[in-house]
Chain A
């Protein structure tokens, strides 16, 4: 804890990142309650209005309130990212740990699979998966999880294989612990910190990825508000002067990704032993 506070004091940026993160989580939890308008309701009389006191972020083609939509979209975007990252974290850490611990054929097989995924142009792979399975939120999550998987497997594998013959592991083994217990109780906690950094950095990327898919047209279904799709749709209005349609969701998207990336950096500082000295 002492160390935590020290790092925060030393690193004002991480403080900003934590506050931004808190803001995003707050918006995700309470956004629907706070939204001044129904994010789905059209209002033909107020279509395409610039930002004003009534509509802070202006209104869109159908007269929907952009501020409400941006606010409400937080939950979905965050959910997609969290779900995708959780899946890749869960599968990646188990597979990577096993591969790192047992080595041999299993390790080689896992290595081949990750190599194969990595050899794909990742965004195009995600596009292909969503296009093939249909564009639903679940499939966006799966696609994002799959393209992130190799990074988790690699981190977990590397961390475990370094430690599998470490003194404390050998000691635990001699004490009669089973492999499963050894992995779960002794090795896994050790790989958690580097994995958490990966998680945080990946969150931002997962959000961008989902937004990119929406931009191509393979995203969330309308009328559900989602940042990427709002930017994509707003993009067609920039030249005609309705800049607020793309700018605000774009800014929200950027802030969220920004927060996660800074957070990842901050976490790395927290746990990186080289920086601690």
Chain B
């Protein structure tokens, strides 16, 4: 199961990166003679209402889905770490102000806020990733703050402070490298969560707009033809499902490896 997860994720990533070379067809080539075909040797997953090859569209969809997931997670990582470190290290008024902001975001369904933000930012790649990122950093900030609060009291930080090391250097060279473990593990939760959110938004019609397509938009298109051509809905959602499973089990592996109670990794 574990080996399968890593293999599957590697395969999906490679397919997405090399999409133009590995996809049997372009994602927009329409073949009117071959509309709504069932899976066959020529079209492994069949074709859609416009005669486009579903397998190729899934590979290109993987590009968009993975890109949104990774870029959003990195954005949230940077912003969340900055806010979390500031709040955790400085404490006092700055801390309580920042945390109040974080709490406000935390109570509200992040997707509800993301939907409203996409109105402002547009529904292209940038708009979606910013809207999701603006809501995803909150979890990261909470995590980092908690870690910094603990690390701040450690003897090595105290001695660095006593030696007169500048604050910024204490944070960058002493604190952050020591709390890296849990943050990396949290990425394995963040990336799939963002992929899922994006496909959710795209599925209900508030995410990416055509011609951009992700697994969510493909599932949405498939859903409309589901009565007669269920494969159009099942393939995209199934690929998404397996990807989510693989990410979750990857997260479990990392969590086990990095459990601070096992060794001094945390």
Check if A and B associate: no
